[in-house]
Every structure is written in structure tokens, then in C-alpha cells.
Structure 1
């Protein structure tokens, strides 16, 4: 047989997947969005700080005639450049791009982007490291000889990124803990919600094959009640069909038993009065067939009278087997077969004595019919740990 094996997730795993996976996606998306927002706010703070710095620095540049007086104390420069990781670089150039003072490596903005109306903020890189720079042009000089001074202040974005990462870590750690607690709560809720299905499964697994009584579940959600009602409806329909079959078998067996008994009696009378060996052989075959049919009718009657639900009560299987062996001893002697019992003296089990007796009788009858004369048939009851084995062996 060929075919593909399809692996299907259980309902519990599907619920966990559909409840926890969106939570994980939202947590990751929320973390990325929070990181972007933190970077944005940090960038705004840096832009505001740089704008204030460039305006303050521009105020320290004082035109004197056609020249400039840059009153920028050394202490202020040390403050700007004291932190290597977060150093603030500046550059003064006049005309724009012609270095006068500060850090000569500051990149220049695009031509025509900077004006005297207000500072220009732009991004750049130095040695592969991101930088945020603000530039401001200042006009000075005589009316007939105007000149332009450019003041630039730049700051590394390393601190901005570090602050954003720390902020995200401080935000996501509680969110992660809350997510774990929420996941545990979701798992517990799913376990509790599926508990009625688990109980229903246990009830169905623990029922015997012939148990067709309704399933009872009083405390369960409406969906489980609907399922139980559907199963009970099916069990009720099966029970009705089984009862109808039993009634039919019982009626048919009763109708057949009397004619078969009469047929066997007539054949026995005919055998006693007959002297023709050929006719006697034919009568023997007819009697054998009638007896087999009668035996089948007896089995049908037993089946029809058997209860739908087998009774389970404590009984001594060894004593029951010895009793059945004694009942079949005369039949075994007539068939020329040695019928005996071996095994435990006493062996207690849970079962239905009537059905067990009928099962042993059927097995012994089958063995006696097809075992040659002079053979042996043994009924055994053996202990196998906590289990009990019942056997009918022939030679």
C-alpha cells in the first residue's frame, strides 16, 4: 500500500501557534518600531543641541571692519572635544569651505544648501562613523565688499544609538517578561478550555466495545455539549439497530430450533429402522448436518440473549474452567478424546461468567469435532504476571 503520511497538529498546538505566534510578531514589530521612535527622539534632541551650539558659536565671531574677531575661549573648545565617543566637532571657514578654525575634516554640505536665514542640518560620515552636522552662514564685511562666514558644528551619532539601545532594552525587558507571563496564561487557558474534550476522550477510551449507553457531561461548554449530543444520538441509533438485529436473530433461531430438533429425531428413527448401508450413510450425513445447524442455532440464541454491555464482576476463572471441563467430559468420552484441565487452583479475574463459559464451550466443541479419536484436549488457566491466559489446546 502506498500513500503519503500527513502530519497534523493537534488542536492544542494549533491554538498555541495561532495565539502565541501573532504575539511574537507583534512583540518583534513593536520592538523595531520603538527603536525607530527612540532614534527619532534622540535625533531631535541632538538637532536641537547642535542648533543651539552653532548659534552660540556664531555669536562669538565678531566682524571688525573687513576682518573677524573669533572670541572662542580654549576652555569652551575643551568642553566641546572632551569626550572622544561623543565629541562635538566644529569648524569655522571664510569664505565657506576655506578653513579658519576648528576641525578641518568636517564635510561640507551641498553647494547652495546653506543660507543666512537659518541653520542647515545634514548627515555625513567621518572614518565610516555616522555624524550629524549643522551649518550656518553669517554675512559680514563692508557693503561694497560683502563676505560670508560659515560655522559648522558636528556630533557623532554613537551616543544617540547607545541611548536608543538602552531605552529599547529597558522597554523590551518588561515587555518580554509580560509576554512570557501572557504565554503561560494562554497555555493554562487552553488547557482549561480543552479539559472537557480530554474528559470526553477518556470516557470514550475507557468504554468497552459493546457499551452503547449515553455519555454524560454536565459541566462543559456548549460546543462540547453539542458534540456529546451528536455522539449520544449516534450511540442511540446503533443501540436500536443492535436490538433489532438481536430480536431478528432470536426470532429466527426460535423458528429454526423446533424443526431442526424434529428433523434430528426423525433421522434417528430412520437410522434405527434402516438396514440399507448406503441409505444409512446418507442418513448419517443428514444427521451430522442437522446437528451442526442445531449447534449454530444454539449459538445464535446465546448471542441474541447476551447483554449489550458485558458485566464485569469478580469470578474464579480456574473454578469456572474446571466446571466447564466436567460438563463436556461425557461428550469427550463419546468422541474418544481425553479432555482434561491444567493450571492454577484458583485465579480471580473480572469478567462475565456467562460469556466466558460460552466461549470455552465453543472452543471445546470445536476441538472435539476436529480432533481424531485417541487425541487429547486440554483446558488451561495460566497466570502471566498480573494477566491471566485462558487456552484450549489439542494435539
Structure 2
């Protein structure tokens, strides 16, 4: 028995009375089939409705709805006995959001088709973004032109109608797109004087209900473009979020919102220059420390020079530069321990004549810190979770060499 789809007859209906036809186990809960429903099942790129099934005093949340062979299954945590009378009630804000996104997608797709001959070949709707894939590339200026075109048609509050027609008749209609493999009775959704295509999803009764369309990203995708956008309430909330972020950033930089790109570029350049100066100063400081160590040398048991650095504030780039400099010192063993976030990194070098195997050293260090690493006799590196007493442990291990 197929479920009667009340949303096809009246998309604005928010609840209905129904009778449970059957209930079956589904995943970690149950799937309830009703004789009729206002719940739209996920399909055609549109997310499913949510809401409740209420039987007497008991209201069961419906978190997802799917369809199979004409039957619509309402997914619940508890079963309902066949014959039970229920009130099926939508989470209306969720339904209305879905209608806004889906209808906005139709209208925006029509704009790209009308203005640039670009066809919608893919539709994606997630909880936080809607996307369409076009079969040709468009740039940002073209995307904004399509956005303006769509919002004008939304503001004109054009009527939106649906009708059922045989596939043979639909093939002769002036539709934006038509799949000639479709058969039987098809549902045609038409925005008056604008888009018209086959669709099984839910749409408001007029374009004004979409509110607005706002594009947020234009990307190259395969041989065409992917357009990411939102409509209605979700678009407004996202724009508000971006606006507040821009206001905060402009206040922090003491500039106008429209000057943010230049302000960020200036900050990036200043950060780059400061980084270069810091690297230069750090290099000079490490060179000074190396010379100090040479003046008061520590030695290995074999009598060769030993350089040990225990750094709580060093970047991997700085450590690599220091290792390169230490590698220029003949007949020397060098160890660098430095903290990087929650990790302790370590590097060991033995230049010609040092008579100490870095592989042997790193095995001992790995065992002491529970770390991993390896390399060659003359050069090894590894890392471990950084313990609070890493400095004391490292100093003791290096003193024993």
C-alpha cells in the first residue's frame, strides 16, 4: 500500500491525522509506515522533514524519513502498533528552510541557464550549505549577475505551481531540463514566467517566500563550476555572521570594513618582515651560544666536543637551521631537544671522527621517552609525547654519553 503524499497536494500543510499501517525494526530503532503523511522523505537532493508522531499522550520524535516502493517510513526510537491513530506534525521551521533552499536552487539554476547557457548537472544540500554543479565554468562576476537576477525574481513574488503530467507530454514542454529516461506520471514545478522542470521536492507557493539567495563560493569543478549558496533565513543568518566578523576585524585593525583586504595584506607583510627579523636574531643568538659552548666545551666519553640544546621555544624550521650549523663542526656530537606543542622532538648529529653512533643514542632516548624515530649512524631524529620533566631526563641522558 502506497503512502498518500499530502505534501504533493498542499505543501503548506503542517500536520495531519493518520493511521499506522505497520512498524518494522530499522537500524537502532523503528520505521513507521502511515496511510498518509505530511512528511517529505529524503530524495532528489532534498533533506527529509523532521517532527513528531503523537498517539494520545505519547509524542515520538521523527528524526529522518525515507521512501521505498511508494511507502514512506518515519524513523523513530519506539514502535507504534498497526491501527494506532496518530497526529503527524512537522518541525515547520525545518520544512520551510528546506523549501527555501530547494526553490532557490531551482531559480538560481535557471538564472545561470538563462544568462550563460550553463546547465545544472548536480545538486547537493547539507545542513549548512547548498551547492549546484554547472557544466561550464563561470567566474565571480557572472555568479553575482546570476544572483542579482534570481533575487529580482524572488522580489517579484511570482506564483509557484505544480502539476502532474505524463512523461510524453512533459517531453514536449518548455522545461529547463528533462530526462528522457523518465516514464509514467511526472511532477512539474513552475515558477511563473521563469523556471520550469521536473521535481519531486517541496517548494513554497510563491517565489517571495524564498526570501533571498546569496552565493558564498565559486569553485572550478571538473569541466565546470561548483556554486555554494544559501537561501532565506539561513542565508540571512550566514550574512549576519560574516558581517559581525567583519565588524570585529575592522575594529581590531581600526579600518573600514571595505578596507579589510588591504589591512590583512599589510598585516601579512608586517608578519613576514617580523618573522625574518626574528629568524635573523634567533640565528645570531644560537651562533653566540655555540661559540660559548666552544669556549667552555663539554665532551663525550671519547673526548670529542658535545653540544646539547634543550629548547622549550623553538620551531622545526629553527631546529633544522641549528642542526645544519652544528653539522659544520668537525669531530663533534650534537643533540637538539625542543618542545613543539604537546610533542618533544629530538635530533642527533655526529660529524666525522666523533666516534658515537646516533642510532645507538636515539634507541636509548626512544626507550626513555616512549618515542619513535631513527636514521643513520651520523644523523637521527624522533619524537615523543612531551612529559613535564623532559628537560631533566634529556640532560641526564646526554650527560651519560
Query: What TM-score range do you get, normalising by the shorter chain?
Result: under 0.3
Q: TM-score, length-normalised on structure 2? A: 0.20
**Which structure: greater strand fraction?**
2
Structure holding more helix per residue: 1
Task: Name the larger-Rg structure.
Answer: 1
